[in-house]
Structure 1
Amino acid sequence: MHWIAVFIIGLIIGLLARALTPGRGPHGIILTALLGIAGSIVGTWAGQTLGWYAPGQPAGFIASVVGAMLLLLLHRMLTRQS
């Protein structure tokens, strides 16, 4: 049941990040959910590095969306040059 919740929350974060970031992004429900999950990991890492979160504390919703937006922008920069 935990993994289903992680997938659904990742999907919501990924959809919100795609809506807030201009341009095209990866398509599909699975890629969007993976984008949200990866954005949460990036948000957690950045928050712990900056001292916003204690070790072992996960990122909040906004930090997860910002992390997913950063990943989308990175994806666009890398695919634009190819």
Structure 2
Amino acid sequence: MHYLWMFLIGLLVGVVAKFLMPGKDPGGFIITGLLGVAGMFLGGFLASLIFGTNMSATGSIEPSGFIGGVIGSLILLAVYRMFRRNTQA
């Protein structure tokens, strides 16, 4: 059940990241979910490097984790767009 919630929150994070980053996206619903879930992990990893703490120790969803997930998703979305643009050209 934890993975289902992680995917749903990741999907929401991916949608927010796509909304915040202007331009046409090559991915659909599945790519949005995967980028959101991966962005949550990347955002948590970056937050632990920057702040030196384990942000997911409590296991609860917090606004700082959501914001970190959006930032991580924005980074991954930019990288995804770069690679997709290069392969289509």
- For Structure 1 versus Structure 2, the TM-score category normalised by the shorter chain is 0.7 to 0.9
Matching residue of 1:66? 71
Residue 16 of structure 1 deviates from its aligned partner by 0.5
Letter of the aligned partner of 2:66 in structure 1? F
Unaligned runs of 5+ residues in structure 2 are 57-63
Matching residue of 1:14? 14
CA distance 1:40–1:26, change in 2 (3 Å): farther
| Aligned CA-pair RMSD | 1.7
Higher radius of gyration, 1 or 2: 2
Unaligned runs of 5+ residues in structure 1 are none
Q: Which moved more, 1:18-27 or 1:37-46?
A: 18-27
Aligned residues: 80
Between the aligned residues of both structures, percent identity stands at 39
TM-score with structure 2 setting the length: 0.77
